[in-house]
Amino acid sequence: MSQATATRYPLVLVPGMLGFIRLLFYPYWFGIVSALRRGGAVVFAVQVSPINSSEVRGEQLLARIEAILRETGAQKVNLFGHSQGSLTARYAAAKRPDWVASVTSVAGPNHGSELADYLQKNYPHDSAKGRVLSAVLRAVAWVMGVLETGYRGPKLPVDVHASHQSLTTEGVALFNQRYPQGLPDTWGGQGPEEVNGVRYYSWSGTLQPGKTDRGANLFDGTNRSCRLFARTFVREAGHCDGMVGRYSSHLGTVIGDEYPLDHFDIVNQSLGLVGKGADPVRLFVEHAQRLKAAGV
**pLDDT, the chain, mean:** 96
The residues assigned a catalytic role are 83, 241, 263
- Could you tell me the CATH number of the domain that includes residue 166? 3.40.50.1820
Task: Let me know if residue 126 belongs to a domain.
Answer: yes
Q: Is the pLDDT of residue 160 over 70?
A: yes
Task: Let me know if residue 89 belongs to a domain.
Answer: yes
Task: Let me know if residue 5 belongs to a domain.
Answer: no
Q: Please state the rounded mean pLDDT for residues 236-260.
A: 98
The Cα 261–Cα 267 span in angstroms is 9
pLDDT reported for residue 1: 64
Convert the pLDDT of each residue in 105-150 to its tens digit: 999 999 999 999 999 999 998 999 999 999 999 999 999 999 999 9
> Position 117: which residue type?
D
Confidence of residue 277 (pLDDT cuts 50, 70, 90): confident
Task: Let me know if residue 3 belongs to a domain.
Answer: no
Convert the pLDDT of each residue in 15-73 to its tens digit: 999 999 999 999 999 999 999 999 999 999 999 999 999 999 999 999 999 999 999 99
Task: Let me know if residue 267 belongs to a domain.
Answer: yes
SS3 annotation, the chain: CCCCCCCCCCEEEECCCCCCCEECCEECCCCHHHHHHHCCCCEEECCCCCCCCHHHHHHHHHHHHHHHHHHHCCCCEEEEEECHHHHHHHHHHHHCHHHEEEEEEECCCCCCCHHHHHHHHHCCCCCHHHHHHHHHHHHHHHHHHHHECCCCCCCCCCCHHHHHHHHCHHHHHHHHHHCCCCCCCCCCCCCCCEECCEEEEEEEECCCCCCCCCHHHHHCHHHHHHHHHHHHCCCCCCCECCCCECCCCCCCEEEEEEECCCCCHHHCHHHHCCCCCCCHHHHHHHHHHHHHHCCC
Confidence of residue 2 (pLDDT cuts 50, 70, 90): confident
Percent of the chain with pLDDT over 70: 100
Task: Let me know if residue 1 belongs to a domain.
Answer: no
Determine the structural domain holding residue 145 and report its residue range: 11-293
pLDDT reported for residue 16: 98
pLDDT reported for residue 210: 94
Task: Let me know if residue 214 belongs to a domain.
Answer: yes
Counting the structural domains of the chain, the total is 1
Q: Please state the rounded mean pLDDT for residues 262-268.
A: 97
Q: Is the pLDDT of residue 182 over 90?
A: yes
Confidence of residue 205 (pLDDT cuts 50, 70, 90): very high
pLDDT reported for residue 127: 94
Task: Let me know if residue 200 belongs to a domain.
Answer: yes
